[in-house]
Amino acid sequence: MNDAPRPVRVAVGLWLATAVFVLFTTAGLWFQRGEIERLSGRSSGDVTDFLLALSVVGVLFAALYGWLTRLFLKRRNWARVALSVVAVAHMLWLLVVGVSAANLVTLLLICVAIVFTWQRAAAQWTEEVREQ
């Protein structure tokens, strides 16, 4: 990563920060389980099922971000495209789940990561591999 231009290093940091933030946010929901039950008026089993679904999706997105970021660092241009597609799917998922402070932070991280991923320096960096 030492030879990567600054926009690539920033993008990588943002993608990894997004993955970690998603995992921490997902874990944090389990600590708020009682509050979720109280506010929603749902049974304990319904809340558990909901949290399990959110956890599976959160871990899946975090794993995809980690894996694709690693490939992006290996200068795989398709990984940039895949990161963006996963990010758009994640943003749509967050809009379906609902607005919260954590979701807004996640959306911000994703948007800024996409901007840095598609900067000209990042594109040139991945193109250099194809030219060799």
What does the block give as tokens for 20?
A: 């970690």
Can you give the length of the chain in residues?
Answer: 132
pLDDT digits (tens, 9 = 90+) for 81-111: 999 999 999 999 999 988 889 999 999 999 9
Positive or negative, the CA dihedral 62, 65, 67, 69 is negative
pLDDT on residue 112: 97
Q: How many CA atoms within 13 Å lie on the side-chain side of 122? A: 23
Instruction: State the average pLDDT over residues 50-61.
Output: 96
Looking at the whole model, is its pTM more than 0.75? yes
Asked if residue 23 lies in contact with residue 58, where contact means CB atoms within 8 angstroms, the answer is yes
24 pLDDT band, cuts 50/70/90, is: very high
DSSP 43: -
pLDDT on residue 86: 98
pLDDT on residue 1: 62
Q: How many CA atoms within 13 Å lie on the side-chain side of 116? A: 19
